[in-house]
Structure 1
């Protein structure tokens, strides 16, 4: 059955059926639908996600972060290829930074994962962050569910690696991997404590050749830092390992740790509880976004905003009083 190009008459059950059957075009269309900001599309997207919800949840959801230049795309390219060779189907959700000025995005992750892009059992979806908190695309959660419904049993979410993206991705995945560069030393002082607190594992990348000695030293620094921090779970102490995404060194051991974590958390019930907490967090996040959208679209507020913004900018009106005026316009 051909899907109509007009989303107003989109046959949602047909799209869901094709997606479940492994139709990549249907998956791409579904993701485009959930990413759309048009109101008519959003209703169809919610209907589609609800329809596919029973077929989700079995995949291993792994968030991967690291500063720009740490080698995230190269490592994911190699890791994904290894996983496919061992029988997995891998989806990569790579979030690109959007320009705060123009909203434009490079969307170049797919070109940096040439090996994985050629695999039949891989699906790479670069998405612009569109200015959302921490650089994580607003619809990443829905996209993850769509990929799971399409049969992908490993979902890797690559973050921009700046801002609050680490926290946001940790709140939607089962395992959070932080890639670091060799040569910690003084650089350790610049690492945000919050990132280490979120990490389920630290992998020192680019640990090949002449970098080996620096990587070993860096790993020692990170282990010491983790040792004095309170762990999120009494059943897991985040390991620190050495890897090279370029040379495919240590990646099998890295994935073995992910699998070990999964088995432990399934056995203790922590994974199920974490997933439940994430669902509730998702609900509140969506509610906040909806409320803010309604606030900005309210006719009374839109009439007030230009004058209020000008007065606040000029220092003639304190921001708390401006907020009170907006709230009064909304009837609060």
Structure 2
């Protein structure tokens, strides 16, 4: 059954265009996908791309909205836009005060209320003073009941969001697990095409298992607060073992002493974990976003990490592995979309769902029937 599913999966990807990036821009007059014809770059995609490379914030916002769109008729334009972005990435150069030779993607994660947005506000302004252009992709949690999001992170970044060299984009998680939105990876590429060399990705408030952001950034930074648990809590696997840098925020006032204790406990806990990269040992630093303390030490540590990874060529090796990971996630999403929209499967799903609810059939057996019907239907198609 699994072998049949694997062989059918590869053939299914030719029946519906994907929003995933493609390095090849197909001529609009010759390429055919399923029943639809993909022609040369559309005026919409071309216009957005020209706006991106010229630095238009309006086009940047529209481009991210396009790749985030779930509308079927937006997928062609999104794919074409991302193709042009990828082709332009190899010739793009960045010149900043810190002499970075590429963009730097920084992931920021932590529990709710740890101070991620406050840190990004001060950190982003600090980076702009050093000559960088900063894009912030802030992911807001979506309601599991209504699907809505407040998108309030931008209001916490009052000064950064108004700066000419900053771009702050809140996006709903749309109930996607892992702390990020489904199209955050594509949004990073678009921000880089618009000339932003530092990309900050703020996740929703996460726990120990939401680590998807680590698969799309160069450095994964975990923010913790004093009094967040004992040393055993820090030793738990998951988000801690993927962290390249741990920041103990709110190290000020009455929390200064607890913050130092937390720092020592996390340092001790990290000794029992295998580093993500053999060339880098994760550091635990104290800082206070409220009092703007420790920001320069954080940046110095991040710069050292960047130099270490860049000089060893590990930076782009990591990005290459991340691209492969996201390819398979895109395949999974595409197959699930096709499964849900297959006419024959949709016709039998209601009856199967009712049987599962009434206990006449197990969920596993119902899933087997759905997959068997879907694969059989695809195999008989011309």
Distance 2:361 2:353 in 1: 9
CA distance in 1, matches of 2:374, 2:80: 29
Deviation of the 1:304 alpha carbon: 1.2
In structure 2, the residue matched to 1:203 is 247
For residues 244-255 of structure 1, what are the structure 2 equivalents within 5 Å? 244-255=288-299
User: 1:163 Cα shift?
Assistant: 5.4
SS of equivalent to 1:231:
coil
What is aligned with 2:80? 47
> Do structure 1's residue 20 and structure 2's residue 53 form an aligned pair?
yes
Q: Is the 8 A contact 2:44 2:77 kept in 1?
A: no
Identify which range, 312-321 or 8-17, moves more after superposition.
8-17
For the structure 1 residues 94 and 187, does the alpha-carbon distance in structure 2 shift closer, same or farther, using more than 3 Å as the test? farther
1:238 to 282, 301, 316: 282
Cα deviations by residue, 1:43-102 (Å, 9 ceiling, x for unpaired): 100100110113338310000001011000000000000000110000000000000111
Structure 1 residue 217 and structure 2 residue 258: aligned? Answer: no
1:279-298 mapped onto 2 (5 Å cutoff)? 279-298=323-342
Question: What is the CA-CA distance between 1:232 and the residue it aligns to?
Answer: 1.6
Q: Distance in 1 between the 2:232 and 2:123 partners?
A: 26
Match of 1:153 in 2: 197
Question: 1:59 aligned to 2:127?
Answer: no
For residues 191 and 249 of structure 1, do their structure 2 counterparts lie closer, same or farther at Cα, with a shift above 3 Å needed?
same
How many residues in Structure 1 have an aligned counterpart in Structure 2? 325
Contact 1:184 1:217 in 2 (8 A): no
CA gap 1:184/1:9 in 2 versus in 1, 3 angstroms = closer
Matches within 5 A, 1:296-311: 296-311=340-355
* Maintained 8 Å contact 2:141/2:204: yes
My pick for the range that moved more, 320-329 or 79-88, is 320-329
Cα separation, 2, equivalents of 1:82 and 1:261: 18
Matched residues in 2 for 1:24 and 1:307: separation? 49
2:27 corresponding residue in structure 1: none
Higher helix share: 1
Structure 2 partner of 1:11: 44
Distance change >3 Å, CA 109–CA 184, structure 1 → 2: closer
Unaligned runs of 5+ in 1: 1-7
Larger radius of gyration: 2
Secondary structure of the residue aligned to 2:239 is helix
What SS does structure 2 have at the residue aligned with 1:330? helix
TM-score w.r.t. length of structure 1 = 0.94
Change (3 A) 1:310 1:303: same
Q: CA separation in 2, counterparts of 1:12 and 1:231?
A: 41
Contact residue 179 and residue 213 of structure 2 kept, 8 A: no
SS at match of 2:230: helix
Equivalent runs, 1:1-332 vs 2, <5 Å:
10-56=43-89, 58-162=102-206, 166-186=210-230, 189=233, 192-332=236-376
SS at match of 1:202: strand
When structure 1 is superposed on structure 2, of 135-144 and 165-174 the one drifting more is 165-174
Cα displacement string for residues 11-45 of structure 1 (whole angstroms, at most 9, x for unaligned residues):
32122111101011011111111111111111100
Counterparts of 1:60 and 1:86, CA distance in 2? 14
Q: Distance in 1 between matches of 2:221 and 2:355?
A: 45
2:93 alignment partner in structure 1: none
